[in-house]
Structure 1
Amino acid sequence: MSLLTLQGRILVPFIMGTYQSERFSAAKGQCDLVRRRDGQWFLLVTVDLPDGAKTPTTDFLGVDLGVANVATDSDGVKHSGDGVETCRIRHHTRRQGLQKAAAGRKRRGRRPKAIRRKLRDLSGREARFRKDVNHTLSKTLVAKAQDTGRGLALEDLKGIRDRTRFRKAQRARMGGWAFHQLRTFIAYKAQRGGVMLEIVDPRNTSRECAVCGYVAKTNRPSQAEFRCGVCGHTDPADVNAARNIRSRARAAVDRPNDHGGCRHPG
C-alpha cells in the first residue's frame, strides 16, 4: 500500500485473507485507511463485482427470521440463535460489572481510566460476533437456494419492533436482533449469486395453516407450537411460518401483476 506522508511516499505491507484477495482485482475508486478503537488499522476497499447469471425459478426456499432460532427454512432446517444470545448476555454482564466498578471509583474520588479502557476494548465485540454469524448464515441460505435451483423468500419485517409487543423477558433479546443486517447480507449475496429474492407480506404467517390455509390466533397454543384448529396439522411454529412464506412467494410469481410483495431478481 502506497501512502503519501509528510516525510514523503512510503510503502506499507498489509495482510489479506482468501476472501479479500480473490476480490481485490475488482477494486474501484479510492481506498480508506481507518484506525479502529482497539488500535488496529484497516484498509477499506470498494469492489465492483458483476451480478450472477439470473436463474428463472417457480419455487422458493421460505425463510422465517426469528429470535430463538435466527432463521428457519421451509425444509424444516433451523439455525439456532443460542450462540448469539449467549454472547449478548456475556458482554452485557461484563459491561454491568465494569460500569459498577467505575461508579464506585468515582465515589471514592479515583479516576477509573483503566476501566474506561476496558469498556472501550469491549465495545464492538458483540456486534462483530453478530456480523460474523449473519455472514455465515446468509452464505449458507443462498448456497442452498443455488444448489436446489430455488429462489429465496423472506418476510417484509420493516417496523416490526414498533408494531409488535414483546414480553419483558424478550425485550433485551429482541433489541439486539440484527435481522435487518441479516436480510441485507442475504440480499446482496443472492444478487451476486443470481438467486431471486422475493419479499412477502408478513401478516398471519405465524397463524395460518400451511396445509389448509385456516387462520386463527388459537392455532398457536404456545410460542413454539402450531396446531391447526380445522385440519389438525401440527408443526413447529417457525417451520409452519417458513412454509407459508414459500407459498406466498410462489403465488407472487404465478401472478406477476400482483404487487403484494417486493421482488428482487438476483
Structure 2
Amino acid sequence: MLDAAWKQMVERLKEAGADAKISIEVQPNGRAKLNVEKLHALGEPKSLAWLRKRVEKMLPKIDLPDLLFEVHSWTGFLNAFVHLGDGKTRMNDLTTSVVALLVSAACNIGMTPVINPKIEALTRSRLVHVDQYCLRADTIAAANAALIEAQGKVPIVQHWGKGMLASVDGLRLVVPVRTIDAAPSPKYFAKKKGITWLNAINDQVIGIGQMVPGTPRDSLFHPGRAAEPGRRGEAGDGRHRQRLLLRHGLRHLQDARLPVLPAVQGP
C-alpha cells in the first residue's frame, strides 16, 4: 500500500510539472527529503464579500439584555426562574430582574453596573432577593432545557451532525489532598499540585466528563471520547463525578447539567 501511494504521488508530480506545490530532494547522504511549498492566501470571491455585508445588515446592533428579552419572547425560558418557596411571586417585572442578573453573571461584571435605584426591578434589594431565591441550579437547568427544546424545533437543526461536532473545555483545580491524579504545573498551580476536570459536549450528548492530571498536556485526554456519537459513558454519570470530586477532596456542587434532546435523524 505504501509503495503504491508513493508511485501515485510521483505520477501526480510529473503531471503537475512546474505547478507542483511539493518536490522531492535527494540529499548528499542519499536520503530523500519532501519539500512542501507554503500555501498562499486565496483572494475573497465577490460572492463572499456580498454575503458578509448582507449578513451584517441582517444583524442589528442591540444591547445584550434586549437580545435576551427577544429570545424569551420566542421560548419563554425566563419563566423557568420561579421562586424557591411555592414557585409563585407577586413581584412586577421579574423578568427584568432576572435578565439583569444573567447579564451580570455572564459578563462577570458584578451586580453594581446593572443596579438602577430609579427602576423598581433593578434596585439592589430586588436583585439580591431574586438572585438568592430565583437563580438556582434547578431553575437554570430548566431554562436551558427550554432553550434546547426550542432550538430543536428550528428546521436547520434537523440537518446538523450525528455526534461528530464536539467542544471540550477544562476547569483547573488545586487539590488539598494527596492523590495519584494530581500533578504539578507552575503555570497554573504555582508550587502546588492540581487536577483538571474536562467537560465535553457534542451535538447529541452533553455532560461527558473526565478527571485528568492538571498538566499543560491535559487537552490530549478527551477529544476522541467527546466525538463519539451517542456517547454516555461512565465518566458522564453524576455519581461517578461525585466520587471523583470526593476522592480529590473537592466539594460536590449540585448537578445542573443540561438535558439532552434525542438525536434527530436527517432526511
TM over 0.5: no
TM-score when scaled to structure 2? 0.25
TM-score when scaled to structure 1? 0.25
Larger radius of gyration: 2
Where relative contact order (Cα < 8 A, 6+ residues apart) is larger, the structure is 1
